[in-house]
Amino acid sequence: MGLPAAPLEDMAIADWKRVVDTNLNGMFYGIQNAFRVMKAQQPMGGRIINNGSISAHAPRPHSIAYTSTKHAVTGLTKAAALDGRRYEIAVGQIDIGNAQTPLAARMAKGVPQANGEIAAEPLMDVAIVGQSVLYMASLPPEANILFHTVMATKMPFVGRG
């Protein structure tokens, strides 16, 4: 779910760079290389599923680097989906909220909320994320899910902020 919470003024430039290199630059170069391969193969085309985040829609406190890069992933997804049409490349994005992973385990213990409180948040089985990706990947070439949000049912996403 991104870096540990830290106020903007406390976040080191190296932390920002690491988040940008991972979430934005890595995604950009990955899409670029996938396009190169998918355009050259016979038959031409393929499917790309980007890892977005619901934080791009409703950020958490102290998540400026993570949130801004996930906003950028949404832009990359839209632009690549448009540019991929002529090459039979479908591009979509999955936005995941509170899947039970070691990184997200802290959510169950309590994380900062928009109102300043610390609150525990529910988690969902990470296998559900895998099922969602499999569904997106299994669509026929003429169909695409541009954006798919999967989250714990009681996660404070709707109404957050």
Name which residue leads in pLDDT, 151 or 12. Answer: 151
Specify whether the CB–CB gap between 72 and 9 falls below 8 A.
no
Number of domain units in the chain: 1
- Taking only the tens place, the pLDDT of each residue in 35-64 is 999 999 999 999 999 999 999 888 888 889
**CATH number of the domain residue 117 falls in:** 3.40.50.720
Query: Coil, strand or helix: which one is 44?
Result: coil
Q: Is residue 41 part of a domain?
A: yes
Residue 1 domain-assigned (yes or no): no
Domain of residue 65 covers 8-151
Q: Is residue 81 part of a domain?
A: yes
Asked whether residue 65 is domain-assigned, the answer is: yes
- Determine the pLDDT at residue 160: 61
Domain assignment present for residue 134? The answer is: yes
Residues 99, 103, 107, 109: is their CA dihedral positive or negative?
A: positive
Statement: the pTM of the whole predicted model exceeds 0.75: yes
Contact 94, 52 (CB under 8 A): yes
> What is the tens place of the pLDDT at every residue in 116-149?
899 999 999 999 999 999 999 999 999 999 999 9
Q: Is residue 158 part of a domain?
A: no
In a domain, 147, yes or no: yes
φ/ψ of residue 16, rounded to 5: -55, -50
Confidence band of 1 (pLDDT split at 50, 70, 90): very low
The larger pLDDT score, comparing residue 55 to residue 81, is at 81
Confidence of residue 12 (pLDDT cuts 50, 70, 90): confident
Of 29, 66, 87, 135, catalytic: 66
Residue 160: inside a domain: no
**Which pLDDT score is estimated for 60?**
87
- Asked if 66 is an active-site residue, the reply is yes
